Each structure stands twice: as C-alpha cells, then as structure tokens.
C-alpha cells in the first residue's frame, strides 16, 4: 500500500506489506511483482485499447498508480482482459491508499477468474475499509479455507476474522474526547503528522510544486503555523525551513528533541525509478537560528522503509516504524537510544505484544508515559486505528482508543499540546481532502472536582479493556474431518491421524494420534498459542496427506474475552486423493517465460506441494510431464517441453526427493487439450504441467 501519510508512514501491500500508504507515502510498501507477472501471462488484446492497457500496466510497475488507473479504466470499459485489468486497477487503488475504491474492482477481477491466490485477501480488507464488515468476514473465511501459502497473510487473515466477528464490541468503545477540524490549515490535499514545537504547530502537507505520481497529489513537505494554548491555529502556514527542503522528494513526520534543537524526520519516495527507492530517517540541528543540512542517520536501513520517528520525553530514545528484514509483519515499531554525542544504538524491535503481521506506525509517548501508535493489525474499525500500550506488572495490554478517534478510515499521528489537548490526522468523511488535522480535547478539563468525583470509573467512555486486571484463560483445541477429494466429498472413517508440534528447529514431536470416527471426525488435541503443527493422515487405497496447521494469528484478542475461562476449537478438513496408478493431476500456476524453461519463483509454491506429497508417501513414484501449445514446430516444442519438465524435476530433487522416484517427460504438443486453440486462454490450457502416479 502506499499511503500519503504513509509515504512517511511506510505502509504499503506486504508487502510495505505490500505495499504503501499516503501518510504512508513515507512508508510505501513494495508490491509483489511476481504475482502480477503471473497475471500478465499471455498476449494482450491488439488495437488502441490494448495499447492503452499496456501503458497502464507500465505505469503501475513504475509506481505511477494514479496515472495507471486512468489508462486501465479505459481498458476495463472495453472489456480488455477483464480479470487482469480489473485486478491491476484494484491494486493501484490499494497501493495509493484508496482501498475502499478498490473493492468493486477486486470483485470484478475475482468474478472473471483472477489468478492471484491473494486477491480475496485484499478484497476482504477493501470491503472492511468501505465499512462492509459482514461481507469482509465472508471473504476472509473463503480465503482461509484455501489454506494459503503466504504465512504473513494467513496470520493476518486469522487475526482479522476475530476482529470482524467482534466488531460490535469495538464500536461500543467510547471516550470523553471531542474533536474539531483545523479548518485554517486543512486543504483538499493532505495534512497530517502534527507536532507542537513551542508556540508552533509543525505538520506534513502535500504542497510542493512537483506532483507525486503515486497518488496524483503534490509532494510532501514540512510546514508550520502559530498555535495557541487552547489549540487554535492562526492559519497562513509557511514552509518550516528552506534548509530542510528537497523539491523532488517527499519529506515529513518530524520529531523534535526536548530542547527543540534537533529534528529527526523522514525523506524519500522521489517517484523516480533510479531515485531513492524508499524512505530513510534524517537529522538536522538548529545552529545559530538556522537548521543544518539534513544527513541520514545510521539506524536507517537503505533496503527498507524507515519513517514516523518520535523522541521519548527525555530525548534519549527514538521510536520509529520500519519494514526491515526480521520484523513481525509489515511495518513494525522499533526503538533506538541516542547518547549525548548523538550516536545511536542498534534498533530493537518492540516485540509481538505491539507489532503484528499488519502495520504499526506513528509511535509517540504521551503525557502519561504510555506508548500510543496507529495500527491496522490490532482489532480496529477500519484501516489505521489509534491504540495505546500499557505495561502493568510486566504485562503489556493494547487498547483501542475508540470513538471519536477511530473510524473505518485512517486515523493516526497523535501529538499532545498539553495533558488534555492534542492533535491527530484522519481521512474520514467530512474533511476537506485527503488527510486532515483535528484538534482533540478531553471534556473532563471543564469539570470541577465535585463533578469529576461523580464520574463512574466504569463509565464506558473511559475506554479500553476495563477488566484488564482480571486474568483470562483460553484453551485452544484442534479437531477435524477427513473426506475424499472428489465432489461430492465422502467422509472417511478409520483413517489414522497423527498430530505433531513443529519446533523452532523444524523437528516434530507427536502430541496426539487416533482414528477417524463416524462421519470422518477426529480430535480433539490441545494446542498452544503461536505454535506450528503438522497433521499426517493415512488410509489404505488413498495417498497419505500431510498438512500444516498454524496457530499464528488465531489467539483471541483480549478485548473479546468475556469469561474467566474460554474454550475454543478449530476445525479443519483434510481431503485424501485416491491411490490410482496412472491417475494424472494438472499442477496449477506453473508458468514459464516465453521460450524459456527455467522455474520461475511463482511456480515454486506449486512444486513444493508435490514435495510435500512425496515426503508424506515415501514409496510414491511419479512422472512429471510438460506440455506446450501448438504455436511452434513439433521438434521445437518437444525439446522445450522436455527441458521444462527436467527443470521442474530438478527443483523437486533439490528439496531432498530421491532421483529414482520421479521421471521427467516432455510431450510437446502431442497431447493438446484444445485442438485448434485460438484464444490465449485456450493456449494456456494446452501449456500445462502434470504429474502421473506410476507406483505406490
């Protein structure tokens, strides 16, 4: 995704996550181009509309999402490759921080047969951003049932399903705060990441001359205006500093040291393919009334997005968001210490209590010494919600700040004026434009001591989990059903089921074993939070089946726990294939570049499935065959198909399968499924990879 706020925030699809927001411009995520390359397989429609579609795809790949949408919508209107074209449009909206606009295009792409296995995942989150919670849950349920290979998406989907099923509980969270938009500085562009420095409000805004092609808005810079003790601003915002200005880059999300003489901010996302590919943190110091030329600080990772920094109250720690390697998911919150000479310690990840497979960004320490941040991974109403982390007796609890702070839109970037007032940003309905800055005020500031004493401490407007001090126990169990893989499925009794816990080193420990009962049922087996499991099922006359079951993302968030003890059981279905010698299976999503035989990265997950089956059935021997279409000579296609089959087999052998268990066979164009194929779709059905059971 690529939010505006996010350019600086660093959000973006996983794959910053994917993937980048506006506020997120600064945290623009990198898109998985492999999935999109899969969509591009084939020959595009000819003629002017086909040419426009190609232009749109090229602009998409360059990160020019706003321009890409305009071209691709023309192609979609002309029904050019509807699955691919609509999917590109949906992705362009998502990655330019307009997810709610992406939903109808995801639906069109899925209805037309979009090949990306994660399309339904993105569709679900687009529906959530549009406030369609029930339909979003249905889409996630369908996505989870496919047993996705993307572990980060899978964990996030499981977590989000809990949220959507309990969304009514989150909607009920209220607070004593009231909001007021800062009309004097908000515009049709983006204003966000406010912070108070003395009597000035510093904020990030899209006001530069150069247009950022990702979202069609002017590039971001730092601006300032006067602010009163009650949060009123004077308007007439001016540039913060000529010294901190790069006309062809995005800059924003500043944080200031306690004495106001050091500023750390984010800069990057120039929009040029050969320019700064991502976002880094810079520092500038106030010397004789002038800010020094910014320099990148050493904690920045040149291969990652680093943004939304925040000093601690004592100025000795800087919190920031990053999608660097080794994190929990998308953008994670890190901390680094700065000594008196300005040297920084090695950044430390804040851990899984705070960070999720989603995005955590815009950290700040409040007047109460608690850590506040924005997240789309913790249970929330929409995209980014505001949360507060509280540590009590060594235990960290995360609470949604509730209404009026949080909506189904992006709500982020808190900053305090004093103990009772502050600012944050949101792109909610009713604003002037993309992101707007709002003043918040605790209405209790206007109450006297007698009125305050009358307030019920359990008043829901106090927000948070009121029972946080009461321990809650959750017991997790696994059960399931074993069936045949043919439609209609038939339950299989007397199958042997073994459940293993997978250790951090990959070793397996048997935790339970049994036979399927009437209607193919098995279980239950006790599970632990965060653990990985493997289920092995065996039955004569069927191929053994091994499937993994992950507890990642399946723990119930504390906000939804109502009882001292909660028991929950996960049910999985395992489908067995008949052991029929000579049976052939087509492997989906095995694509090759034109006239090439090397295995592409997007084919690896499908071949890994073959490896899993062969390891579960140690005596299984198969033939792996490759077939071409008929658009070249017989001799050429025969040679090409043999090379492709051998390439796939070599990949499988590299995973530890014995060479005498698999045979590579190229059939060229001798076994066409569709003779006289004319369309690219028909040619693709002929170009296929199959496995045939030879012996078991």
For the chain, the structural domain boundaries read 5-171, 473-576, 584-695
pLDDT tens-digit profile of 11-36?
A: 433 333 333 344 444 433 333 443 44
Percent of the chain with pLDDT over 90: 60
Question: Are 546 and 499 in contact, with CB atoms under 8 Å apart?
Answer: no
DSSP state of 310: E
CATH class of the domain whose range is 473-576: mainly beta
Question: Are 224 and 200 in contact, with CB atoms under 8 Å apart?
Answer: yes
Query: Between 239 and 673, whose confidence is greater?
Result: 239
Whether the pLDDT of residue 603 is over 50: the answer is: yes
DSSP state of 503: P
DSSP state of 277: -
Residue burial 66-84, b: 16+ Cβ < 10 Å; e: rest: bbbbbbbbbbbebebbbbb
Which pLDDT does position 461 carry in this prediction?
65
Helix (H) or strand (E) holding 615: helix 604-616
Residues whose CB is less than 8 angstroms from the CB of residue 28 and which lie 6 or more positions away in sequence, other chains included? 1, 2, 3, 6, 7, 10, 11, 12, 16, 20, 21, 63, 95, 214, 269, 278, 279, 305
- Cross-strand pairs, 277: none
Query: Between 483 and 458, whose confidence is greater?
Result: 483
Question: Are 411 and 438 in contact, with CB atoms under 8 Å apart?
Answer: no
**Of 218, 264, 253, the residue nearest 331 (C-alpha):** 253
Whether the pLDDT of residue 40 is over 70: the answer is: no
**Of 136, 151, 143, 55, the residue nearest 100 (C-alpha):** 136
Cis ω on the peptide bond leading into residue 524 (within 30° of 0)?
Answer: yes
Three-state DSSP class for residue 37: helix
Q: Taking the complete model, does pTM exceed 0.75, yes or no? A: yes
CA distance 224 to 221: 10
Range of lowest pLDDT (260-269, 277-286, 430-439, 450-459)? 450-459
CATH topology of domain 584-695: 60s Ribosomal Protein L30; Chain: A; (3.30.1330)
- The mean pLDDT value of the chain amounts to 86
- Cα distances (Å, whole numbers) of residue 632 to 590, 605, 626, 682, 690: 20, 29, 15, 15, 21
Which pLDDT does position 598 carry in this prediction?
78
DSSP state of 305: -
Question: Are 96 and 65 in contact, with CB atoms under 8 Å apart?
Answer: yes
H helix count then E strand count, the chain? 14, 33
- Cα distances (Å, whole numbers) of residue 251 to 136, 149, 212: 34, 36, 12
Average pLDDT value for residue range 682-688: 80
Percent of the chain with pLDDT over 70: 89
**Of 554, 553, 522, 551, the residue nearest 536 (C-alpha):** 522
Question: Are 75 and 50 in contact, with CB atoms under 8 Å apart?
Answer: yes
Binned at pLDDT 50, 70 and 90, residue 591 comes out as: low
CA distance 170 to 286: 44
Q: How many CB atoms lie within 10 A of CB 660?
A: 7
Which pLDDT does position 254 carry in this prediction?
96
Average pLDDT value for residue range 36-56: 61
- Cross-strand pairs, 537: 497, 545
pLDDT tens-digit profile of 425-474?
A: 999 999 998 899 999 998 888 777 777 777 776 666 665 444 444 567 89
Which pLDDT does position 97 carry in this prediction?
85
Helix (H) or strand (E) holding 7: helix 5-9
Question: Are 412 and 169 in contact, with CB atoms under 8 Å apart?
Answer: no
Q: How many CB atoms lie within 10 A of CB 392?
A: 9
Whether the pLDDT of residue 373 is over 60: the answer is: yes
In what side-by-side order are the strands of the sheet with 411-416? 177-181, 436-442, 421-426, 411-416
Q: Describe the chain by its helix, strand, coil percentages, rounded to 5.
A: 25, 30, 45
- List the CATH code of the domain at 5-171: 1.25.40.10
DSSP state of 314: T
Parallel, antiparallel, or unpaired: how do β-strands 473-484 and 565-576 relate? Answer: parallel
Beta strands in 172-316 (DSSP E): 177-181, 191-197, 200-212, 217-226, 238-239, 250-256, 262-268, 279-287, 290-291, 295-296, 306-311
**Of 680, 501, 653, 514, the residue nearest 591 (C-alpha):** 680
Which pLDDT does position 43 carry in this prediction?
36
Question: Residue 632 burial by CB count (10 A; 0-12/13-18/19+): exposed, middle or buried?
Answer: middle
CA distance 86 to 113: 11
Parallel, antiparallel, or unpaired: how do β-strands 385-392 and 371-375 relate? Answer: antiparallel
End-to-end Cα spacing for the chain: 47
pLDDT tens-digit profile of 571-590?
A: 999 999 887 777 777 787 67
Average pLDDT value for residue range 520-524: 94
Binned at pLDDT 50, 70 and 90, residue 9 comes out as: very low
Query: Between 272 and 459, whose confidence is greater?
Result: 459
**DSSP sequence for 652-693:** HHTTT--GGGEEEEEEETTT-SSTT--SHHHHHHHSEEEEEE
Q: What are phi and psi of 311, to 5 degrees?
A: -75, 150
pLDDT tens-digit profile of 526-570?
A: 999 989 999 999 999 899 999 999 998 898 888 888 888 999 999
CA distance 381 to 555: 19
Three-state DSSP class for residue 565: strand
């Amino acid at each position: 995704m690529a939010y505006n706020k996010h350019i600086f925030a660093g959000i973006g699809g996983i794959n910053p996550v994917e993937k980048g927001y506006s506020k997120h411009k600064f945290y623009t995520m990198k898109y998985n181009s492999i999935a999109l390359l899969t969509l591009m397989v084939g020959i595009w429609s000819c003629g002017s509309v086909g040419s426009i579609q190609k232009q749109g795809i090229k602009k998409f790949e360059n990160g020019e999402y706003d321009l890409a949408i305009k071209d691709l919508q023309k192609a979609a209107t002309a029904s050019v490759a509807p699955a691919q074209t609509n999917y590109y449009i949906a992705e362009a909206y998502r990655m330019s921080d307009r997810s709610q606009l992406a939903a109808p295009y995801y639906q069109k792409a899925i209805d037309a047969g979009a090949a990306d296995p994660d399309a339904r995942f993105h569709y679900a989150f687009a529906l959530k951003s549009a406030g369609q919670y029930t339909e979003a849950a249905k889409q996630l349920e369908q996505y989870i049932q496919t047993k996705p290979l993307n572990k980060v998406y899978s964990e996030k989907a499981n977590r989000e399903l809990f949220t959507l099923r309990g969304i009514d509980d989150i909607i009920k969270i209220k607070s004593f705060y009231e909001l007021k938009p800062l009309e004097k500085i908000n515009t049709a562009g983006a204003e966000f990441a406010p912070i108070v420095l003395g009597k000035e409000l510093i904020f990030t805004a899209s006001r530069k001359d150069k247009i950022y092609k990702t979202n069609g808005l002017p590039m971001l810079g730092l601006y300032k205006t006067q602010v009163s003790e009650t949060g009123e601003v004077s308007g007439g915002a001016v540039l913060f500093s000529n010294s901190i200005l790069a006309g062809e880059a995005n800059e924003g999300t500043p944080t200031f040291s306690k004495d106001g003489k050091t500023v750390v901010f984010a800069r990057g996302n120039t929009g040029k393919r050969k320019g700064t590919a991502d976002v880094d943190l810079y520092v500038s110091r106030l010397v004789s009334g002038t800010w020094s030329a910014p320099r990148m600080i050493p904690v920045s990772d040149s291969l990652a997005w680093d943004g939304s920094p925040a000093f601690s109250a004592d100025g000795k720690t800087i919190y920031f968001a990053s999608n660097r390697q080794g994190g929990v998911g998308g953008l994670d919150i890190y901390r680094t210490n700065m000594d008196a000479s300005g040297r920084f310690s090695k950044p430390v990840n804040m851990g899984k209590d705070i960070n999720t497979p989603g995005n955590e960004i815009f950290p700040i320490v409040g007047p109460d010494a608690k850590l506040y941040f924005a997240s789309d991974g913790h249970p929330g109403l929409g995209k980014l919600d505001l949360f507060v982390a509280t540590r009590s007796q060594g235990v960290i609890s995360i609470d949604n700040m509730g209404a009026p702070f949080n909506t189904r839109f992006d709500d982020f970037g808190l900053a305090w004026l004093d103990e009772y007032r502050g600012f944050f940003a949101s792109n909610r309905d009713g604003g002037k434009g993309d992101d707007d800055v709002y003043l918040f005020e605790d209405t209790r500031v206007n109450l006297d001591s007698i009125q305050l004493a009358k307030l019920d401490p359990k008043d829901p407007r106090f927000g948070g989990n009121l029972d946080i001090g009461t321990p809650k126990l959750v017991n997790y169990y696994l059960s399931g059903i074993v069936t045949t893989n043919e439609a209609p499925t038939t339950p299989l009794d007397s199958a042997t089921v073994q459940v293993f816990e997978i250790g951090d080193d990959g070793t397996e420990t048997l935790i339970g074993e049994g036979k399927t009962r009437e209607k193919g049922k098995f279980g239950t087996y006790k599970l632990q939070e965060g653990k990985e499991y493997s289920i092995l099922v065996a039955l004569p006359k069927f191929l053994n089946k091994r499937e993994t079951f992950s507890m990642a993302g399946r723990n119930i968030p504390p906000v939804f726990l109502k009882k001292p003890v909660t028991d929950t059981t996960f049910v999985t279905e395992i489908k067995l294939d008949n052991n029929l010698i000579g049976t052939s299976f087509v492997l989906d999503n095995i694509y090759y570049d034109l006239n090439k035989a090397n295995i592409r990265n997007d084919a690896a997950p499908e071949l890994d499935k073959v490896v899993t089956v062969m390891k579960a059935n140690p005596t299984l021997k198969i033939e792996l065959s490759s077939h071409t279409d008929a658009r070249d000579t017989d001799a050429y296609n025969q040679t090409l198909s043999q090379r492709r089959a051998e390439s796939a087999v070599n990949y499988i052998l590299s995973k530890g399968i014995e060479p005498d268990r698999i045979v590579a066979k190229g059939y060229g164009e001798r076994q066409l499924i569709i003779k006289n194929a004319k369309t690219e779709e028909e040619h693709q059905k002929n170009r296929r990879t199959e496995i045939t059971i030879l012996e078991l």
